[in-house]
């Protein structure tokens, strides 16, 4: 059975944490579950006037001073970079594909349950709050390593997925594509009460920060049995994209052998390039699809969200200026 834990709301001492409370006490993942042999997984720190955040950076073994893509991965509530890396196995797929992967860490001081504060207006804007910290980490890595600046991406799970949606809306010049697993669209909440409503039934506020711009290419995964973040949220991201761009729509249905069935909807632009992919995973709850039991909130019964997300990312690069 997948390790899907019950959700709760933690508001001790007036600090709000939307999210996931693990009911299984687990040992920290071991190094072989996190990083392939020969590669590096280093700890670093970013600081600015908005605050500071620690992060882990995966450097593939074949990094030889040539520009490589960078994927920024935002963990869910109660998770850590190591836990998220172990559960998604993103480092192992990135090792195959020669990509950097960064995992910013949200500390308890910022949110009692270590959730990214995607639902606060102050943390939904460019140049301030948590978006500026995540963008700052991204740029720090781009400045310290040879990163292909047109192939930088951001993805996440749950609160981290909602934060990735914020990053796509506020830093569309930095990220070439975004990945939203069990998350919510940017702008569906502005505070804790509206966040709880959006999580329970889907967002009602469609005031997405688009200003008529072409939306950032987005891949969405959501289990249709998710009781923590309502599956309507994944559908709303799809609807918003359809409203803002002229698209061709294709629907594929599939089944993982011994695992979940899924419906995959692809929206392409006039040139046939896939701009939005939505994976509706039938029977799955609030967990990373195809993930490893070495990490929390994973459902090993697939499909493999890590491999599909990275495949989608690498199909996109920022347009020439």
Cα 111 from Cα 116, distance rounded (Å): 7
Q: What is the pTM of this model?
A: 0.90
* Interval 124-145 mean pLDDT: 97
- Strands 68-74 and 248-255, how do they pair? unpaired
Mean per-residue pLDDT of the chain:
87
**Which helix (H) or strand (E) segment is 150 a member of?**
strand 147-157
pLDDT for position 166: 95
Q: Does position 255 have pLDDT exceeding 90, yes or no?
A: yes
Q: Residue 2's pLDDT is what?
A: 39
For the CA atoms of the chain, what is the radius of gyration? 18
Q: What is the distance between the alpha carbons of residues 82 and 103, in angstroms, rounded to a whole number?
A: 8
- Evaluated on CA atoms 197, 222, 165, 117, the torsion sign reads positive
Closest CA to 117 of 227, 173, 125: 125
Predicted confidence (pLDDT) per residue in 45-73, tens digit = 999 999 999 999 999 999 987 899 999 99
**Per-residue pLDDT at 220 exceeds 70:** yes
- DSSP string computed for 183-233: ---TTS-SSHHHHHHHHHH-------S-TTPPPPPEEEEEETT-SSS-THH
Q: 3-class SS at 26?
A: coil
Q: Rounded to whole angstroms, how far apart are CA atoms 111 and 77? A: 9
Strands 248-255 and 218-223 come out as unpaired
3-class secondary-structure state, position 90: helix
- Find the mean pLDDT for residues 93-97: 97
Mean pLDDT of all residues in 139-146: 97
Q: Mean per-residue pLDDT for 187-204?
A: 86
> For position 248, what pLDDT does the model report?
87
Question: Pick from 79, 30, 39, 38: which is nearest to 57 by CA?
Answer: 39
Is pLDDT at 246 greater than 90 in this prediction?
no
Q: Grade residue 243 by pLDDT with cuts at 50, 70 and 90.
A: low
Which pLDDT score, from 0 to 100, does residue 237 have? 78
Q: What is the largest CA-CA distance in the chain?
A: 53
pLDDT band at 238 (very low <50, low <70, confident <90, very high): confident
- Is residue 167 classed as helix, strand or coil in its secondary structure? helix
Question: What distances in angstroms separate CA 277 from CA 140, 151, 219, 238, 315, one per listed residue?
Answer: 29, 18, 5, 8, 12
Q: For residues 58 and 210, what is the distance between their CA atoms, to the nearest angstrom?
A: 32
Q: Is residue 40's pLDDT more than 90?
A: yes
What are the C-alpha distances in Å from 2 to residues 25, 62, 109, 138, 305?
15, 33, 30, 32, 15
């Amino acid at each position: 059975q997948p390790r899907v834990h019950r959700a709760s709301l933690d508001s001790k001492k007036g600090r709000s944490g939307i999210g996931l409370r693990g009911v299984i006490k687990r040992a920290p993942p071991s190094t072989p579950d996190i990083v392939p042999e020969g590669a590096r997984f280093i700890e670093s720190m970013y600081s600015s006037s908005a605050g500071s955040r620690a992060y882990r950076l995966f450097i593939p073994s074949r990094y030889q001073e040539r520009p490589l893509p960078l994927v920024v991965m935002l963990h869910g509530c109660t998770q850590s970079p190591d836990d998220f890396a172990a559960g998604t196995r993103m480092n192992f797929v990135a090792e195959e594909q020669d990509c950097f992967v960064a995992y910013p860490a949200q500390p308890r001081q910022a949110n009692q349950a270590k959730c990214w504060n995607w639902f606060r207006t102050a943390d939904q804007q460019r140049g301030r709050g948590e978006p500026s910290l995540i963008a700052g980490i991204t740029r720090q890595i781009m400045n310290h390593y040879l990163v292909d600046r047109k192939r930088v991406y951001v993805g996440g799970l749950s609160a981290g997925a909602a934060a990735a949606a914020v990053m796509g809306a506020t830093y569309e010049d930095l990220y070439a594509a975004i990945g939203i697993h069990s998350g919510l669209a940017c702008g569906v909440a502005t505070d804790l009460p509206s966040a709880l409503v959006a999580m329970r039934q889907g967002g009602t506020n469609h005031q997405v920060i688009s200003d008529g711009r072409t939306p950032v290419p987005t891949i969405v995964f959501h289990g249709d049995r998710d009781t923590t973040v309502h599956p309507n949220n994944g559908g709303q991201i799809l609807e918003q994209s359809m409203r803002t761009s002229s698209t061709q729509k294709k629907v594929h249905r599939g089944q993982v052998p011994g695992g979940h069935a899924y419906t995959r909807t692809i929206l392409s632009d006039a040139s046939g390039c896939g701009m939005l992919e939505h994976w509706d995973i039938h029977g799955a709850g609030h967990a990373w699809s195809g993930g490893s039991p070495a990490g929390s909130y994973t459902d090993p019964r697939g499909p493999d969200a890590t491999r599909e997300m990275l495949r989608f990312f690498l199909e996109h690069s920022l347009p020439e200026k």
